[in-house]
Amino acid sequence: MATTADFRNGLVIEFNHDLFAIVEFQHVKPGKGPAFVRTKLKSLTTGKVIDNTFSAGHKVNTARVERRDYQFLYKDDLGYHFMDSNTFEQIPIQEALINAPQFLKDGQNVEILFHAEQERVLGCELPQHVVLTVTYTEPGLKGDTATNTLKPAEVETGAKVQVPLFIDQDEVIKVDTTTGAYVERVK
């Protein structure tokens, strides 16, 4: 059990029969009336962010969530298969629980969130940036770089990314997994 005084960013609480992570919180003491805590909560099962207000001193149940390192192995009709880096145990995960499945490539390391008491998978997070090879893109025109123009490119995982005109086929680029946007060319 925790109270609103224990709130901090990243704390996982049980609320409305679901698990929520506190994204943002603010203690408010108005001039008139009792104090309260305004929060933004992100559901660990659906990913939706909701606003909620708790009265000061309100008690909530906390949940223990563990992050474990896993390595992506392969995908089949059962889902995406990952291997624990320490115990070599393999687990399948459904595509809906992965934050950016289109950027997963064989052997890539990810973090999987587990509900510690129930040993249930809550989600799978890729690193902030991944390095991928461009497998196909149209050639850019020489001298056509005066503006910040983008063109479509396909990377080795099959995902489509918008890249600048100077990026050619077989070049290695860094992609942001949260937005799916091109970041930079890797040397």
Q: How much is the pLDDT for 45? A: 78
Parallel, antiparallel, or unpaired for β 2-3 and 59-62? antiparallel
**C-alpha span between 85 and 170 (Å, rounded):** 30
Q: pTM of the full predicted structure?
A: 0.75
State the Cα–Cα distance between residues 10 and 22, nearest whole angstrom. 5
Q: Name the average pLDDT for the chain.
A: 90
Whole-number pLDDT of residue 54: 95
Query: According to the model, what pLDDT value does residue 144 have?
Result: 60
Which pair of structure tokens corresponds to residue 51? 């606003």
pLDDT number for residue 146? 62
**Amino acid code (one letter) for 39:** T
Q: What pLDDT, on a 0 to 100 scale, did the predictor assign at position 142?
A: 65
- What Cα–Cα distance (Å) separates residue 164 from each residue in 100, 104, 160? 22, 22, 13
Q: Tally the residues of the chain.
A: 187
Q: What is the pLDDT along the chain (187 residues), one digit of tens a residue?
A: 889 999 998 889 999 988 998 999 999 999 999 999 999 998 887 778 999 999 999 999 999 889 899 999 999 988 999 999 889 999 999 988 888 899 999 999 999 988 888 888 888 889 999 999 999 998 876 666 667 788 999 999 999 999 988 888 999 999 999 899 999 999 8
| Residue range 156-170, pLDDT digits in tens | 999 999 998 888 899
**Per-residue model confidence (pLDDT) at position 145:** 60
Q: Can you point out the beta strands (E) in 4-158?
A: 12-15, 18-28, 36-43, 49-55, 59-62, 65-76, 79-84, 90-93, 109-115, 120-125, 129-137, 150-155
pLDDT at position 10? 84
Rounded CA-CA distance 86/187 in Å is 31
**pLDDT in the model for residue 92:** 93
At 187 the pLDDT is 84
